[in-house]
Structure 1
């Protein structure tokens, strides 16, 4: 006889391990989580990078309830649309890092990346330059797991096992932070073949890697020089994680396309979107012969999700949480710095947003570190290169940040070597 939940297949999981170490989260309030076994834990990773305003906000639940009793949603294909989608799109366009942006809404980050890459290729077909099909992405970059996201992944293990190097053939990887090397790659591949470069301003899942000085600005200039579209993947960094509404604004870049999700609702509803600059969008809005972009999702502009997003954005503004994230960035950077002294640590990366990565030596059993942190009341996880991800909600206090770092420090100190 199967146990409760035996049928569930966890994403991105080695299932025998996931089932033997299953952790069931039953409740969340603020920065705190409760488990089915009664543990109370700090959410040190904002769930999957998205719980920016914390858990259990009744205001967002009531916003969803009120909208559902009025109109849960209605599709936005063709000429129909709902009011929350229109209102949210106007807000996003006003806050975008490029003037005059148009907005397409999706169900999440992977959807947004898929849309952005398709739109980039469609743009060049309409420009009469059909050879421009390549999408370039950074080594260690992560862009979701739809077909395009899998194909442009800078993490090789996410592209492997499908019978080809890339599900969508026309992709290639560029240097993570060496701008000169990127320039050489562009010339080698041929600018006439490249549709777009997609880049996270701060690489998230690939290890929390901030941009080298001048890298993002140089990447944008390189795209302008060679007539390549620049896609900023702000699925993680958007909506305050770097102390600005968008990380593009922090580093002074103006992308052609911006992908977003996660922090747009702080995880209270599945929603994503794409900001599109006039250079790409205008031709679809002008004249009787305007082309149609044949892309859409059943839940594009989902009315309830859009209302939840607006409530979330109001909380960010009313509580000055974007500014608070900027302040907490410095607090976290200072507190994690001593972790570099541990013989178990290869590197500590911080200072490019309210997040940090503590990279452990390859031979360190990260599960033991995670379990020790959990015993100290902190829930954490590992990402690429055996790296501990720290990415707390914006409502943390300095003492909360200290508790997270102290738990990691204690786990490193008590670690007895590989078993």
Structure 2
């Protein structure tokens, strides 16, 4: 992700965390508008952590910290799978099977393997601005840093990138390509809001048309909701805002509030049908890690309890962000509680990010390697419980600092 001998980006010596703050060894509080690395969506809340700590203590008291899910049963495997499916389906029947993974990157790897069973087709479509992880499969379909992945012997030889459609002409070009190549396209992998290139929100109408076109041509729809899932854009998952569900749903990050490495891939009946009597060559030692699943189960229960509050707060934050950014005439994009401000100068971006850190505000930067850094700026992923008034105060500081340079 960076030069081999680089220091950590912030080089901040962290001592503790509380609610929406990271606190360094000198006791200085930093407002975390990054939600960790987009995964501590609920913040560093003692209430949630106490629940998880209690559950883990019970497991450890029984000597249970690891089981090989390939060989043994445990009640939590089925319990969490059922709960996650009910939560993701939200009254519908989009998904009915769960694969456990250790990360979002592994989730992409698995999803691409599953797409291989779609009539042995090889071509994968992906958005040029998208990012899907650092395993070989993820690198292959990550357009944002495809130039870097060339060092790994053309891992994307069967991948075709298209820019995320911003107008009807771009959409028509993409649809025409699908029509010409429908017999060879196995899957299209999406981020409904592209995170790593500046929170690009693809028009819902375009997404619906594109997904319908995939269905008409038996092309699997893979939704990467590693960043957008679990209320980040207001809904439980972004696909709930659309006319139809994807065939494969990749989840990680907020699934257990970043407490332990964990993820899941959900599939529906269409993909299950393709897998009947097939051998799936995928396994990781830590898939089904008991502590990780229990952390996810407690986190999901907590989210369900607080769902109305989370949705209300995300809506308030979205309104606050748009209002303040419009006031300062910022160039921005995003949805819910994930927004970016365009700066398009890497040096200025780094300067602003570090000045904000010294002020006690932590933000994320983005840099599009595929566009020679022309597309760059800062990204905000505030914790979902963050008070909108506190967010607004920070936004004014951020915008004023940006205005000094632009």
Same fold, TM-score > 0.5, yes or no: yes
Matched, 1:391 2:381: yes
Return the alpha-carbon distance in structure 2 between the equivalents of residues 283 and 139 of structure 1.
Answer: 28
Q: Is residue 2:186 matched to residue 1:195?
A: yes
Question: Residues 100 and 15 (structure 1 numbering): CA distance in 2 closer, same or farther, change over 3 Å?
Answer: closer
Q: Deviations over 1:131-164 (max 9, x none)?
A: x111110010010110000001111356434253
Does 2:169 correspond to 1:171?
no
Matched, 1:60 2:52: yes
Contact 1:378 1:407 in 2 (8 A): no
Contact in 2 for aligned 1:67/1:307 (Cα 8 Å): no
Q: Return 5+ residue gaps in structure 1 as ranges.
A: 1-11, 342-346
Counterpart residue number, 2:66: 73
Q: The residue matched to 1:77 in structure 2 has which SS?
A: coil
Instruction: Tell me, in whole angstroms, the C-alpha distance in 2 between the residues paired with 1:135 and 1:413.
Output: 41
Q: Which residue of 2 aligns with 1:251?
A: 242
Assess if the C-alpha contact under 8 Å between 1:264 and 1:312 holds in 2.
yes
Residues 83 and 303 in structure 1, CA contact (< 8 A), matched pair in contact too: no
Decide whether the 8 Å contact of 2:144 with 2:196 is kept in 1: no
TM-superposition CA deviations, 1:369-399 (whole Å, max 9, x none): 0122123221112112222010111110012
Q: What is the match of residue 343 of structure 2?
A: 360
C-alpha change, 1:185 and 1:298, in structure 2 (3 Å) is: same
Match of residue 101 from structure 1: 96
Q: Which residue of 2 aligns with 1:117?
A: 112
Give the structure 2 partner of residue 135 of structure 1. 124
Residues 243-292 of structure 1, C-alpha deviations (whole Å, 9 max, x = no match)? 1111100223311100000110010111101000111114646xxxx333
Once the two structures are superposed, the pairs formed by residues 160-239 of structure 1 within 5 Å of their partners are 160-164=149-153, 166-177=154-165, 178-188=170-180, 190-239=181-230
Distance in 1 (alpha carbons) for counterparts of 2:266 and 2:399:
40
Give 1:16 shift.
Answer: 5.0
Cα distance in 2 between the residues matched to 1:148 and 1:20: 26
**Contact 2:253-2:262 within 8 A present in 1 as well:** yes
1:39–1:158 CA distance, 2 compared to 1 (3 A)? farther
Q: Quote the RMSD (CA, aligned, Å).
A: 2.1
Q: State the Cα deviation string for residues 72-111 of structure 1 (Å, max 9, x = none).
A: 1211115x23222211111111122443421001001000
- Distance of 1:313 and 1:58 partners within structure 2: 15
The whole-number CA distance in structure 1 between the counterparts of 2:177 and 2:12 is 44
Three-state SS of the structure 2 residue aligned to 1:230 is strand
Aligned to 1:3: none
**In 1, Cα distance between equivalents of 2:266 and 2:97:** 6
2:288 matched residue in structure 1: 301
Structure 1 counterpart of 2:372: none
User: For structure 1, which segment, 192-201 or 360-369, has the greater mean C-alpha deviation from structure 2 after superposition?
Assistant: 360-369
After alignment, is 177-186 or 111-120 more displaced? 177-186
- Residue 381 (str. 1) matches residue 372 (str. 2): no
* 1:409 alignment counterpart: 399
Distance 1:19 1:304 in 2: 28
Instruction: Determine if the alignment matches structure 1 residue 47 to structure 2 residue 36.
Output: yes
**Aligned equivalents of 1:311 and 1:48: distance in 2?**
20
Shift of 1:17: 4.8
Which has the higher mean CA deviation after the structures are superposed, 265-274 or 21-30?
21-30
**How does 1:83-94 map onto structure 2 within 5 Å?**
83-94=75-86
TM-score (norm 2): 0.89
Over 3 Å counting, the alpha-carbon distance change for 1:73 and 1:358 in structure 2 is same
Structure 2 CA distance, aligned partners of 1:111 and 1:363? Answer: 30
Provide closer, same or farther for how the CA distance between residues 47 and 65 of structure 1 changes in structure 2, counting only shifts above 3 A: same
Unpaired stretches in structure 2, ≥5 consecutive residues: 368-374
Shift of 1:19: 5.7
Q: Secondary structure at the match of 2:385?
A: coil
Q: 1:311 to 1:371 in 2, by over 3 A?
A: same
